[in-house]
Copies of this chain bind each other. A is one copy, B any other.
């Protein structure tokens, strides 16, 4: 907080409705998606996301901090996530060649297989629980608005 705002204008009805709906989505959607994906071999959303980003990276490898920021996770959070994935054999870690402080997280073949096994239900959940409800709206415009959210100015 830089300045303490004296009496900000209260929310109008539409604004309030939007805020409440989005807050609800933030709480409910991740759990819903997770639950939809909970087949035999549940892959939690965070771990799924990490595998996904790795699969899209050149050589299926990324530095820890890149991966963390791609997943919107703190670096320490990512350390632990990768550790979990490593014990399952889905990811391995290698020291970075050009900077021995750094590590690469690397998607293993098993990890790729696991991701491919999960993505259809992940994708279906996204469509069914989320995108479905935005049919007919201008998605690109909406995406631009959401991309700006969080920035102050």
| Residue A83 CB within 8 A of the other chain | no
Given contacts A4-B39, A5-B121, A120-B8, contact A137 B145 (CB under 8 A): yes
A93→B145 CA distance, assembly (Å)? 42
How many A residues have CB within 8 A of the partner chain?
58
| Residue A59 CB within 8 A of the other chain | no
Given contacts A25-B146, A28-B150, contact A17 B139 (CB under 8 A): yes
Given contacts A1-B39, A1-B121, A26-B30, contact A133 B152 (CB under 8 A): no
**Are B149's CB and A129's CB within 8 A?**
yes
| Residue A100 CB within 8 A of the other chain | no
CB distance from A52 to the nearest CB of B (A): 11
